[in-house]
Amino acid sequence: MDALEITGLRYYGYTGYFAEERFLGQWFDVDLTLWVDLLAVGKSDLLEETLDYRQVVERVQNCIETSKVNTIEYLATQIGRSVLECDRVSKIRVRLTKVSPPIPNFPGQIAVEIIRSKEESF
């Protein structure tokens, strides 16, 4: 199966364990790998035979900006579920990074990565 990558997405969202995170928000980065069949578009060069990347980006943005949940694991799952609703996507890898987690004396980032397919139930 072929794959498309969409990387470097960054949106401000309200996911986190602490009430302040869900109220004040913080930045999240997202990288995606999408398994799609690119055989037809590889032969035809017709846009209608490939995935509309704009739709994927809009779905990720909406999930991050509107969700107020406790964990990035749950948010990553919601992103995966939303993107898998796109007709051409059969499998997805979501890497979701909390850019500045509120952990004392921790200058790093926290990331979660999930891989899901349409056949798997969420």
State the catalytic residues: 98
User: Which residue intervals of the chain are DSSP H helices?
Assistant: 19-24, 39-44, 53-66, 72-84
Describe the strand order of the beta sheet including 2-13 as a list of residue ranges.
Answer: 2-13, 26-36, 91-98, 110-117
Q: Provide Rg for the chain, Cα atoms.
A: 16
How far apart, in whole angstroms, are the C-alpha atoms of residue 110 and residue 89?
A: 26
Amino acid, single-letter form, for residue 115: I
